[in-house]
């Protein structure tokens, strides 16, 4: 189910025929242009999808005599369609408004071209229907890399993020990250609206990053490209010192590159996170410093 008001506001639609429904049944980001159906062919009518009326469909309807147009629309509205959306600023005929009101089916309108609207609507509804979870973490954009900072409470996630903001990077979410699986290989994160752009710093309290550092210091949403897990330094644990092995964490079925950073007094976490983000960018371009060093050592031993 999709919230009707959220659909109208998100796609900037006009309500041409109101409905008492607050939720409409949309199961996938798919649409139907019912040209064949309006002409009388209903063999494979995808009535469960939102119906898009463009120039072709409206031109056909308006070219019919009034009594025949009503019969065509009565047949069309006998199906339980979620909604009807008219593109290019078309005005619905009176018969359409009457039948839609009788069946309690919302009729919406937009001035955008049909194809352009469908592309935007697919992206918007895909996001609405995508699986969501929330995580206790910090999300920040570092050199274009979406870094998800995780760790136990008090590990220094917010302090590291604040230092990164001071260094010119952009905060997406602090403490709570709403994560959306856009597709099988991509996650995006944003902050819940109630706490968006706020940050908690122990000893100071709540601060507003946007008001304090300006709009350039914040970002609405960002893809999650890597996870950096902060944990207290454990002398008994062996930490990776070469970086030859690729470690991943799985979030909602998506593998995300992950590194563990031990925390102890004197370590500059902001610089370490910056280096990790740059290093990931280099690896995406096909360069690995650890493998380059390993190659040089191998060549030296062979000589």
Active-site positions? Answer: 136, 157, 175, 241
Sign of CA dihedral 190, 184, 1, 42: positive
Which single residue is written with the structure tokens 């009457």? Answer: 98
CA distance 261 to 226: 13
């Amino acid at each position: 189910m999709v919230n009707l008001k959220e659909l109208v506001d998100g796609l900037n639609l006009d309500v041409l025929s109101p409905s008492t429904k607050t939720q409409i049944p949309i199961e996938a980001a798919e649409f139907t242009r019912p040209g064949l159906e309006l002409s009388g062919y209903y063999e494979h009518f995808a009535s469960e999808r939102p119906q898009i009326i463009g120039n072709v469909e409206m031109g056909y309807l308006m070219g019919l005599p009034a009594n025949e147009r009503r019969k065509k629309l009565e047949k069309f509205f006998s199906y339980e369609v979620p909604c009807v959306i008219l593109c290019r600023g078309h005005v619905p005929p009176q018969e359409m408004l009457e039948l839609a009101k009788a069946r309690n089916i919302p009729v919406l309108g937009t001035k955008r071209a049909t194809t352009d609207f469908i592309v935007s609507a697919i992206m918007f509804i895909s996001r609405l229907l995508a699986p969501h979870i929330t995580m206790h973490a910090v999300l920040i954009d570092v050199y274009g890399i979406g870094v998800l900072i995780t760790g136990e409470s008090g590990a220094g996630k917010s302090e590291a993020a604040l230092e990164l903001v001071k260094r010119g990077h952009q905060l997406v979410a602090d403490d709570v990250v709403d994560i959306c699986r856009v597709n099988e290989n991509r996650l995006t994160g944003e902050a819940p609206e109630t706490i968006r752009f706020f940050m908690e710093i122990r000893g100071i309290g709540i601060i507003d990053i946007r008001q304090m550092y300006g709009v350039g210091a914040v970002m609405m949403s960002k893809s999650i490209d890597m996870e950096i897990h902060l944990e207290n330094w454990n002398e008994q644990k062996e930490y990776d010192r070469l970086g030859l092995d690729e470690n991943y964490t799985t979030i909602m079925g998506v593998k995300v590159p992950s590194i563990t950073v031990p925390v102890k007094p004197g370590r500059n976490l902001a610089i370490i996170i910056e280096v990790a983000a740059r290093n990931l960018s280099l690896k995406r371009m096909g360069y690995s410093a650890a493998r380059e060093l390993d190659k040089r050592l191998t060549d030296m031993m062979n000589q």
